Chains A and B, each alone.
Chain A
Amino acid sequence: MITITINGEEHQFDGDPEMPLLWYVRDVLGLTGSKYGCGSGLCGACTMHMDGKSVRSCVVPVQAADGQSVVTIEGLDPNGDHPAQKAWRDYNVPQCGFCQAGQIMQAASLLAQNSEPTDEQITEHMTGNICRCGCYQRIQAAVKAAAVEQASKGA
């Protein structure tokens, strides 16, 4: 039996332990905010946090999440007002929007570790997340703005 805490709620699973966390969360739990984009850790659309770090949930077997605490986009902030989410809205970042849950989760994990990221650190941290619509210019700007907001909150 695998036990995972997802967005603060404990879930038990006795299915295929190799099932990627992404499919468990989407198909079994019905939380569809995290997206399937490649299934191979190449695009970042499925990004979640596992014990505070961003992971590509399409390549994390559920058994590797046993006993861990997982946060998805649905659980990032109770009101959807995490500084990254707010900055994404301020900058009208999305086009189709499909990659953006993953982008926001990836950005949020950077902000959690580093409240004053440089441009290079932002680029490096976000490089695993593809946006085929090409919103990178705004993503870069939004992460920066979110860092400023987060820093002002912390102060």
Chain B
Amino acid sequence: MLKYIDEEMQAAKAFSPGNADRSVRLENVSSRRDFLKTLGISGGLVIGLQLLPSGSALAFDPYPTGAEGMPHKTVSDPAVFVAIDSDGSVRLVAHRSEMGTGSRTSLPMVMADEMEADFDRVSVVQAPGDEPKYGNQDTDGSRSLRHFVQPARQVGAAVRQMLEAAAAQQWDVPLARVRARDHAVYLLDGEGADAGETGERLSYGELAESAMAMPVPAFEELNFKTDDQFRYMGKGEIPMVDLHDITTGKAVYGADVQRDGMKYAVVARPPVVGGSVKSMDASETLKVPGVLQVVELAGSIPPAKFAPLGGIAVVADNTWAAIKGREKLIVEWDSGPHGSFNTADYEAQMRATADRPGKVLRSQGDPETAFANAARVVSADYYQPHMVHAQMEPLVAVASFDNGKLEAWAPVQSPYGTRQDLAATLALEEEDVTVNVTLLGGGFGRKSKCDFVLEAALVSKEVGAPIKLQWTREDDIRHGFNATTSVERLEAAIDENDKVVAWRHRSVSPTIFSTFMPDPGYASNVETGMGLVDSPLDVPNLSIEVGEAMAHTRIGWFRSVSNVPHAFAAQSFIAEVADSLGRDPKDMLLELIGPDRVIDPKAANMPEDLWNYGEPYEEFPNDTGRLRHVVELAAEKANWGTALPDGEGMGIAVHRSFVSYVASVVRVQIDDDGTIRIPEVHTAIDCGYCINPERVHSQIEGAAVMGTTLAMYSGITYENGAVKESNFHDYPVARITTYPERVHTHIVEHPFSVHATGVGEPGVPPFAPALANAIFAATGKRLRDLPFGDKVV
């Protein structure tokens, strides 16, 4: 464990009052059981959660999660996830993709913990895309641990008890006379918890064969560990399983897969989404040494889900020859329906829309009258351009079509979805398609979309050889599935007593759904549920609205999705209101959130289709007590309110997303030339029970850097339908010179009974507004348009 993490963990512990109360309050057993019943969850180990028999003394009380609403739900069959060899080595299956969040380490760690395996003797095997076998594999939405910690514990407990049963049989003693501990089963001198070990033991290796032949215990027979018995969970002492391979260059990412006879391809794609090849001359291309052939790929016009954009693939003996060959292609493109799309015009259009009344999604009190009668109205517009993920590993896939079967190796977040799309695209049966998952060199949502794998497969089929299809950085930036663009209008009505009496948040933003269906023109409930309609503010009159915006680019999930623009606007605006009233921003924030309460969505008039990240609301409610607590925690750790030298300032912001609560306090220092430096950040996160604190720290540290990047740099510009930016010189990301120098992470401590919630994404949304608020505090300059650069001018 890193020393600084250790210190921060101890410190956060000391500042976690009342957590026990809270965990009790969150349990609502009757509604949980009803929920299970309505889902028709039945017996058998292939289902993750079952009804508890009454009076069962399990150490954890299973609870329903959104996993039950995901395709193929969860699986907890030990035979699927665990193999023990006679030498005692244990292989555990990771079925979610590893893109840097650590789930490939953390889920096997949970299994190992519950099965009393020594993690040093565990190796991790990556599952191919096969959801009927493994359960849902869509690695997105900050769901891996939230949905699979329970099934992982169940697998581990079942295996431990099978090992114990095998030992008891071998010694011919009752089960109560044996106990598993540290990769072995020990014979006890008596029965019960107080019995001591006799010294006689059977190692897991010795027991492997007979144990795996034992019947799998029924769920109600499982004895789970209590929190104090965890050896790995909650400790953060297990390094990532790939750490050694990563530091020695042995880790295998998408581009590192090699196949016999493999050829290399790059694709020239239409510059405009929905465009196509009008005419093409490849004669110079084919003269480049190493170039073998060109293949024309059919295009698609949105909504086309993840279908390739089409274009010309250049196939060669190596990547370089393919890139050179592509440079020599002469292609005339037809730009299709989006050829006149311009970012500047679109921004103006969105601003105009935000200025008009929108479609009201949620209304409380009488906002129109309250605004009409206000002593004063404060208002502001905030802007976010389209952004691309720019994950460090550009898209790449290897595919081999051979004899009516397709095998792919790819860094994908959705291995099974990829398999299904490959089968559909190539008109194959699903069983004739295999998708092997490599490590992902970052994903952030881009690798949920498998267009690049489909391209590799189509080219392989045409060429008749394994193909490594590489996107260049330019391809990656120009042909993304963008984060949405938005204009957010915020308005507050203030009365004669300087009280905020009405609040309006109107969001104008093209929807992700336009990628999948005819463009509805308005943000979907999934997007508006991300920090818009679920606003926790305690203001008597409230209007939450959306305005129309038609999509002209491919829009997709980008880490934290619509939470980013919603939080940037709402949390910046709270600080603006505070300033206009001469109030402290943190006090204003807490006052607007109002008292500790679990928000009742009905009473708050939230829409019927309120999106709660797919989670059952009763189990994962919007709890303003927890929201307030992270504000207090971050503020306290940052010494909020202390006087700062000239040119320095602190800003605060908080946001609930992916059913977690995160607050950040950012301190900035503005150099004489206006350069923004970020010497210190304090982020407090309440993610329920924290399974792997060390990786939570690293996600929060990374979220601060990504937050810095999107605040200062990220913006994609379209001119006549084509993206102008192309590489890191004009689409910069934070470097070691601009990153927050010291990010302190403070994790709210909870027992396992407080459900684990998302970690990968929730750190991002509060960062940019906290930074903008800090810059305002330091300079008096309010930055409302992203990206605002790394200098205050």
Chain A residues contacting B258 (CB-CB under 8 Å) are: 30, 32
B560 within 8 A of A: no
Checking A23, A127, A138 against B319 with a beta-carbon cut-off of 8 angstroms, the contacting residue is A23
B264 within 8 A of A: yes
Q: A37-B392, A37-B394, A130-B733 are in contact. Are A92 and B694 (CB under 8 A)?
A: yes
Q: A16-B289, A20-B320, A137-B743 are in contact. Are A40 and B473 (CB under 8 A)?
A: yes
Chain A residues contacting B729 (CB-CB under 8 Å) are: 40, 42
B327: shortest Cβ distance to chain A, in Å? 12
Tell whether, in the assembled complex, residue A97 and residue B251 are in contact, meaning their CB atoms are under 8 Å apart.
Answer: yes
Chain A residues contacting B470 (CB-CB under 8 Å) are: 36
- What per-residue 1/0 map shows which CB atoms of A130-145 lie under 8 Å from chain B? 1111111111100000
Tell whether, in the assembled complex, residue A32 and residue B255 are in contact, meaning their CB atoms are under 8 Å apart.
Answer: yes
Tell whether, in the assembled complex, residue A129 and residue B320 are in contact, meaning their CB atoms are under 8 Å apart.
Answer: no
Q: A74-B248, A89-B243 are in contact. Are A133 and B702 (CB under 8 A)?
A: yes
CB proximity to B under 8 Å, residues A47-92 = 72-74, 80, 85, 88-89, 91-92
Chain B residues contacting A101 (CB-CB under 8 Å) are: 246-247, 249
CB proximity to B under 8 Å, residues A87-125 = 88-89, 91-92, 94-101, 104, 123-124
B734 within 8 A of A: yes
Checking A20, A39, A85 against B247 with a beta-carbon cut-off of 8 angstroms, the contacting residue is A85
Interface centre among A23, A94, A126, A133 (most CB of B within 10 A): A133
Q: Give the nearest-CB partner of B323 in chain A.
A: A39
B17 within 8 A of A: no
CB proximity to A under 8 Å, residues B688-704 = 694, 698-699, 701-704
B442 within 8 A of A: yes
Chain B residues contacting A36 (CB-CB under 8 Å) are: 255, 319, 394, 470
Chain A residues contacting B391 (CB-CB under 8 Å) are: 96, 132
A155: shortest Cβ distance to chain B, in Å? 24
Q: A39-B473, A92-B698 are in contact. Are A33 and B248 (CB under 8 A)?
A: yes
Tell whether, in the assembled complex, residue B736 and residue A140 are in contact, meaning their CB atoms are under 8 Å apart.
Answer: yes
Tell whether, in the assembled complex, residue A134 and residue B2 are in contact, meaning their CB atoms are under 8 Å apart.
Answer: no
Q: A73-B248, A100-B247 are in contact. Are A127 and B706 (CB under 8 A)?
A: no
Tell whether, in the assembled complex, residue B390 and residue A95 are in contact, meaning their CB atoms are under 8 Å apart.
Answer: no
B441 within 8 A of A: yes
Checking A123, A133, A139 against B100 with a beta-carbon cut-off of 8 angstroms, the contacting residue is A133
Chain B residues contacting A124 (CB-CB under 8 Å) are: 737
Interface centre among B2, B699, B735 (most CB of A within 10 A): B735
Interface centre among B289, B392, B701, B735 (most CB of A within 10 A): B392
Q: A130-B392, A135-B702 are in contact. Are A88 and B733 (CB under 8 A)?
A: no
Q: Give the nearest-CB partner of A94 in chain B.
A: B246
Chain B residues contacting A37 (CB-CB under 8 Å) are: 392-394, 473
B132 within 8 A of A: no
A38 within 8 A of B: yes
Tell whether, in the assembled complex, residue B239 and residue A97 are in contact, meaning their CB atoms are under 8 Å apart.
Answer: no
Q: How many residues of A contact B (CB 8 A)?
A: 58
Tell whether, in the assembled complex, residue A42 and residue B737 are in contact, meaning their CB atoms are under 8 Å apart.
Answer: no
CB proximity to A under 8 Å, residues B314-343 = 318-321, 323-324
Chain A residues contacting B703 (CB-CB under 8 Å) are: 134
B474: shortest Cβ distance to chain A, in Å? 8
A37: shortest Cβ distance to chain B, in Å? 6
Tell whether, in the assembled complex, residue B318 and residue A139 are in contact, meaning their CB atoms are under 8 Å apart.
Answer: no
Tell whether, in the assembled complex, residue A27 and residue B264 are in contact, meaning their CB atoms are under 8 Å apart.
Answer: yes
Q: A33-B249, A39-B472 are in contact. Are A134 and B739 (CB under 8 A)?
A: yes
Instruction: Tell me the bound Cα distance from A31 to B248 in angstroms.
Output: 12
A138: shortest Cβ distance to chain B, in Å? 7
A43 within 8 A of B: yes
Chain B residues contacting A85 (CB-CB under 8 Å) are: 247-248
B654 within 8 A of A: no
Instruction: Tell me the bound Cα distance from A127 to B728 in angstroms.
Output: 13
A151 within 8 A of B: no
B727 within 8 A of A: yes
B528: shortest Cβ distance to chain A, in Å? 28
CB proximity to A under 8 Å, residues B335-385 = none
Tell whether, in the assembled complex, residue A127 and residue B737 are in contact, meaning their CB atoms are under 8 Å apart.
Answer: yes
Q: A134-B704, A138-B701 are in contact. Are A26 and B319 (CB under 8 A)?
A: yes
Q: Give the nearest-CB partner of A23 in chain B.
A: B320
B742 within 8 A of A: yes
Chain B residues contacting A135 (CB-CB under 8 Å) are: 698, 701-702
Instruction: Tell me the bound Cα distance from A91 to B208 in angstroms.
Output: 35
Instruction: Tell me the bound Cα distance from A131 to B442 in angstroms.
Output: 10
B182 within 8 A of A: no
Instruction: Tell me the bound Cα distance from A53 to B275 in angstroms.
Output: 45
Q: A16-B321, A23-B320, A32-B249 are in contact. Are A97 and B439 (CB under 8 A)?
A: yes
B741 within 8 A of A: yes
Checking B243, B444, B705 against A92 with a beta-carbon cut-off of 8 angstroms, the contacting residue is B243
B253 within 8 A of A: yes
Q: A38-B727, A73-B248, A127-B736 are in contact. Are A92 and B100 (CB under 8 A)?
A: no
B592: shortest Cβ distance to chain A, in Å? 30
Instruction: Tell me the bound Cα distance from A16 to B258 in angstroms.
Output: 21
Tell whether, in the assembled complex, residue B240 and residue A92 are in contact, meaning their CB atoms are under 8 Å apart.
Answer: yes
Chain B residues contacting A128 (CB-CB under 8 Å) are: 735
Tell whether, in the assembled complex, residue B739 and residue A91 are in contact, meaning their CB atoms are under 8 Å apart.
Answer: no
Checking B240, B256, B443, B728 against A94 with a beta-carbon cut-off of 8 angstroms, the contacting residue is B240
Chain A residues contacting B443 (CB-CB under 8 Å) are: 96
Q: A42-B729, A94-B240 are in contact. Are A34 and B736 (CB under 8 A)?
A: no
Tell whether, in the assembled complex, residue A19 and residue B734 are in contact, meaning their CB atoms are under 8 Å apart.
Answer: no
Q: A33-B250, A73-B249, A104-B247 are in contact. Are A96 and B473 (CB under 8 A)?
A: no
Chain A residues contacting B473 (CB-CB under 8 Å) are: 37-40, 43
Tell whether, in the assembled complex, residue A95 and residue B321 are in contact, meaning their CB atoms are under 8 Å apart.
Answer: no
Tell whether, in the assembled complex, residue B289 and residue A80 are in contact, meaning their CB atoms are under 8 Å apart.
Answer: no
Instruction: Tell me the bound Cα distance from A85 to B251 in angstroms.
Output: 14
Q: Give the nearest-CB partner of B101 in chain A.
A: A95
The 10 A-B pairs with the shortest beta carbon distances in the complex, nearest first, are: A33-B249, A134-B705, A98-B441, A96-B100, A95-B100, A73-B249, A97-B246, A134-B702, A80-B248, A32-B256
Residues in B lying within 8 Å of A, measured CB to CB: 2, 98-102, 239-240, 242-244, 246-253, 255-256, 258, 264, 289-290, 318-321, 323-324, 390-394, 439-444, 470, 472-473, 694, 698-699, 701-706, 727-729, 733-737, 739-743
Residues in A lying within 8 Å of B, measured CB to CB: 15-16, 19-20, 23-24, 26-28, 30-40, 42-43, 45, 72-74, 80, 85, 88-89, 91-92, 94-101, 104, 123-124, 126-140
A-B contact pairs, 24 of them (CB 8 A): A16-B289, A16-B321, A16-B324, A26-B255, A27-B264, A30-B258, A32-B252, A32-B256, A37-B394, A38-B473, A40-B727, A43-B473, A89-B247, A95-B702, A96-B98, A97-B441, A98-B439, A99-B441, A132-B390, A134-B703, A136-B705, A136-B734, A137-B739, A137-B742
Given A72-B249, A89-B244, list of 10 further CB < 8 A pairs? A19-B318, A30-B258, A39-B472, A74-B248, A94-B100, A101-B246, A124-B737, A130-B728, A132-B391, A137-B740
